Amino acid sequence: MAMVSAFASAMLAATPVAAMSAVPAQSATATASCVVFAVRTGDTGAAVSVVQSRLRITADGVFGAVTARAVKTFQAGHKLVADGVVGPLTWAALGGFPCSAVGSQAVATVTGISSAVAARMRYSYRLGCPVPLSSLRYLRLPYWGWDGRYHVGELVVNSSIATVTAKTFTTLATQRFPIQQLRLVDDFKGDDDASVRANNTSAFNCRKITNGSTWSQHAYGRAIDVNPWVNPYVFHGRPQFDTFTHVARTAGKGKILRGDATYRAFIASRFSWGGDWKNGVLDYQHFEHA
């Protein structure tokens, strides 16, 4: 328990800045069980070097085009999604995350949208979206994974909720609430259905509401969908994809129930829950801060 307390204290120190101009990174570190994080094009460092060594290509520590191609080839050969991102499944296929080489520090950061992140957001952001990129923030957050280990994931949210989002996810991590994936929806080419089927927790996506024509709160970066496959969207009694497996609000891995610890963590940060809606629509994955 001492480890979790130290983790919580350090993570709570990661308070984003509110300025709309240049936004410096805010970070905090904490020693936890080995934190597994994804690496992708543009990343550098020891973890990238390990990937390159295991793929038997030049280990220069820079994740460029050659490394991306090698990763995709490896993923295809191991029947993984060939997206070029070395996440938990690819790390496992490569022999596991290199804790001894990388260390066990968890780092939370909140920054403005860099040119590199903006380039990745080509599916979720476009001209005509209701908020400018300058009103959004990029968060990297530790979370407790489906595999019972800490990982580092990412969200894009509105600048107005960056602080409460960081604090809320800190609470979820310290409580070890399991999240299967925490990735930008752009990793799924902006396809919300694909993200849901992957049980991916995400936030910003410039799209309209489901079964409607007005902007979703996701298009403003003020909504977060948590473990959406096990916390389904239900429209007048019919769940998304007509999959009824997880509709019943009974306890289960990654599920959210009214009044449970996850629900309380979001409500304490003044989010509202789609599972409390009264208009014939229940969205158990959905928290918004409108």
Banded pLDDT at 67 (limits 50, 70, 90):
very high
CATH 1.10.101.10: which residues of the chain? 38-103
Domain 38-103 indexed as CATH 1.10.101.10:
yes
Relative to beta strand 178-179, strand 150-158 is: unpaired
Banded pLDDT at 151 (limits 50, 70, 90):
confident
Percent of the chain at pLDDT > 70 equals 86
Whether the full predicted model's pTM is greater than 0.85, yes or no, is no
User: pLDDT tens, 100-120?
Assistant: 776 655 556 789 999 999 999
- Bridge partner list, 157: 137
Phi, psi (deg, nearest 5) at residue 88? -55, -45
Q: Please report the DSSP string for 113-124 in residue order.
A: --HHHHHHTTTT
User: pLDDT tens, 3-13?
Assistant: 333 434 333 33
> Which pLDDT score is estimated for 250?
92
Q: What rounded mean pLDDT belongs to the chain?
A: 85
Banded pLDDT at 26 (limits 50, 70, 90):
very low
Q: How far apart are CA 270 and CA 290, in angstroms?
A: 9
